[in-house]
Amino acid sequence: MNAPIVPFREIFYSAGIMYSRFEPKSVPDPSLIDMLQREQADGAFFSTQDHDMSVFSLRHGQSEGNARNTYQGRLDFPLSVHGEQQARAAGEWLRQFKPDYIIASPMQRARRSTEIVADLVHVDHIEFSDLLIELDTGVFSGIDAESAARTYPALWKEFYTHSWDAIPGAEPSKSLYARAILAWMRIRELGEQGASRIVCMTHGGLLQWLMRSTLGVHRWFPLLPMSNCGISQYEIEIVEKNSPAFVQWTKIDFRPPNVPEGPKPVF
């Protein structure tokens, strides 16, 4: 039998540490979410570009929540010391590409990862966007997989077939797809303003949908690998102005040399 589902705003751990929830300043309108389901960040999407672009999307470094194998969602966990080392290794690898812009989630674990990477690649143009925050993990927020399975056995069974769409209070996949498309629209706009090598620092859940939205996939499964500071590289090659670009994922969850291993992260 499932335990009662109780909404919450903050989580306290036994060590006496409190982690607050991150609340976005705005969310997409439901009508806009519906409209964006028809979009896809494919070659045609980038037909207005006049130069090639490289987009390096990565998950933040290990957070304190990742270290505990906790479902974090919108809980604003800071980066761990291990996570700072991972971000540093990612930044050192990205430096060779001379990025000219970083767009990132403002949540603590992504913000600190961004600061470390930006310092290493010498980027001054940094934009923090609520479009890139992690999905809300609903009633699973603040607990680990074992606790979730024990406390909500029926939900846990549904979780394995419908992922977060089965969890009360979690962000629906339609919303995630729409946010991903809006993020790609902003990246396209940055390209139209002259950027050509963009780093996108986000979270494991949203990153799944940044990739799915380039393929027009609207379902959670199959999942893609998403390591802390694993880098996925999307290349946009302009063949002819006002014609569909040639697009491809040349790297998926690439782990740069010297990125320290850690526990397999959850959302």
Catalytic residues, by residue number, are 60, 134
Contacts of 161 (CB under 8 A, 6+ apart): none
Cβ-in-10-Å burial (0-12, 13-18, 19+) of 67 comes to middle
Kindly report each contact of residues 178-181 with a partner whose C-beta sits within 8 Å and lies 24 or more positions away, as own/partner: 178/28, 178/32, 178/33, 178/36, 178/37, 179/28, 179/131, 179/132, 179/206, 179/209, 180/41, 180/206, 180/209, 180/210, 180/212, 180/213, 181/36, 181/39, 181/40, 181/41, 181/213
